[in-house]
Amino acid sequence: MIFEIDKIDEEGQSFEVLESKQHFHIDSPDCVLTEDVKIQGRLEKAGQEILCQGLLETSLRVTCTRCLVGFSFPVRSKLNVHFTPQTDNDKPGNEVELTELDFEQEVYEEDRINLSSPVRDLILLSLPQIRLCKKDCAGLCSQCGINLNEKHCDCNKEEPCDPRLAVLQELKDKLK
Ligand SMILES: [Zn+2]
Ligand SMILES: [Zn+2]
C-alpha cells in the first residue's frame, strides 16, 4: 500500500485499492482477518505533507467474549492519516499543525507513503473490548460451561447477563 509522492497529483487524487488479507498478519486465535481489505480514498498534498482520507471495508472473524464462539465482524471505518516527512530532530519543524484530532499521525521516508501500518491499526481499533456474537448472547454457564445459546442446563443460575453491556452494544449499533 505504497504511494510515491511524486506521482500524486498536485490537486489531489482519488484511489481505490484492494489489499490481500495476508498482507496485514492479523491472525491471532481470537481475531482473524477473513476478507481482503478494500479502501476507497483520496490523497491530498499540502507542501511536504500528505493527507489521506478514505473508507476502509473488510471483515474479521472474532471470538465472542461471552460464549467464545467465533463470529463474523464486518469492519467499515473511516481512515484519516496525516503523513509528515521524517526530519532530523535538530531541524526546526515547519509543519502545519493540524487541529483535527481524529487524524492519525504518521511519518514517511524516501518520498513515499505506506498505508499498511495505519490501516492495520485502524482494523484492530475498530474492534470493541466486548465482542458479542449477538447482543443478547446468553454466554456460557458459569458452572457447567455449556453454551446457553444452544442448550439449557439444570444449574442454579441467579445472575442474569449484565444489562449495561446490552445498552452499550445497542448504542454501538446505532452509531454504525
Ligand atoms: Zn456469544
Ligand atoms: Zn450449567
Q: Which helix (H) or strand (E) holds 22?
A: none
Q: One digit per residue, pLDDT tens: the chain, 176 residues?
A: 899 999 999 899 999 999 999 999 999 999 999 999 999 999 999 888 999 999 999 999 999 999 999 999 999 999 999 999 987 654 545 555 555 567 888 999 889 999 999 999 999 999 999 999 999 999 999 999 999 999 999 997 565 556 677 777 777 777 76
Mapping DSSP to helix (H, G, I), strand (E, B) and coil, where does residue 96 land? coil
Separation of CA 140 and ligand 2 centre (Å): 8
Mapping DSSP to helix (H, G, I), strand (E, B) and coil, where does residue 114 land? strand
Ligand nearest to the CA of 139: 1
Q: Which residues are CB-neighbours of 50 under 8 A, at least 6 positions away? A: 3, 5, 8, 43, 44, 82, 83, 108, 113
Contact 103, 82 (CB under 8 A): yes
Ligand nearest to the CA of 155: 2
The per-residue pLDDT for 157 is 58
Question: Distance between CA atoms of 147 and 152, rounded to whole angstroms?
Answer: 8
Q: Where are the domains of the chain?
A: 2-129, 134-176
Separation of CA 158 and ligand 1 centre (Å): 19
For 38-56, b/e burial (b = at least 16 CB within 10 A) is ebebebebeeeebbbebeb
Contact 79, 51 (CB under 8 A): no
The residue to which cell 445472575 is assigned: 159
Ligand nearest to the CA of 161: 1
Separation of CA 138 and ligand 1 centre (Å): 7
